[in-house]
Amino acid sequence: MKPNRIWKIVGGLAVLGIAIQLVPYRPEANPPVLGEPAWDQPRTRELFLRACRDCHSHETEWPWYAAVAPVAWLLRYDVDHGRSHFNVSAWGHAKNKDADEAASAVRDDWMPPAYYRPLHPDGRLSEPERQELIRGLAATFGDVAVEAH
């Protein structure tokens, strides 16, 4: 490939990278906390906030790169999607249709999503903490996996 062609490609990608910053789909300020569930114990709340808060509450801690497209789009989508299924900050004010699935989601290792984990090492739980969170979620919200049997 000729050097001139490479510079055209790089220039085109740079222009595209700048242009997508104009798309207004970005994380917004967190809404106010409207209510919280009656946690079975403070430790469950502590573990939940450490591992699940960013996508399942109104207390999201947006990283610096949440302002840079296209990563901002993925983050906003993930948080909007997570809050729509299960949101501890809108307890009593919104449907939390998947609350009874929280324990099994952690137990079955599909929460948090695998792609989320490397970017959020501060939210990682040790295996004993993970088991403690599972028990606390089941005690607080019920457990669809146990109820099905």
Burial class (CB in 10 A: 0-12, 13-18, 19+), 115: exposed
- pLDDT at position 147: 58
Q: How many whole angstroms separate alpha carbon 4 and alpha carbon 6?
A: 5
H helix intervals, the chain:
3-19, 42-51, 53-56, 71-85, 102-107, 127-141, 144-147
| Reported pTM | 0.82
The answer to whether 98 and 132 are in contact (CB under 8 A) is no
The conformation of residue 65, written as its DSSP 8-state character, comes to G
Residue 143 contacts by C-beta under 8 Å, 6 or more apart in sequence? 100, 103, 104, 137
In order along the chain (149 residues), what is the average pLDDT of each group of 10 residues? 82 80 78 95 96 94 89 91 93 85 93 84 88 96 72
- pLDDT at position 119: 77
Backbone φ and ψ of 35, nearest 5°? 175, 160
Q: How many whole angstroms separate alpha carbon 35 and alpha carbon 92?
A: 7
Residue 21 contacts by C-beta under 8 Å, 6 or more apart in sequence? 68, 69
Residue 123 CB neighbours (<10 A): 17
- pLDDT at position 22: 77
Distance between alpha carbon 40 and the CA centroid of its chain, in Å? 22
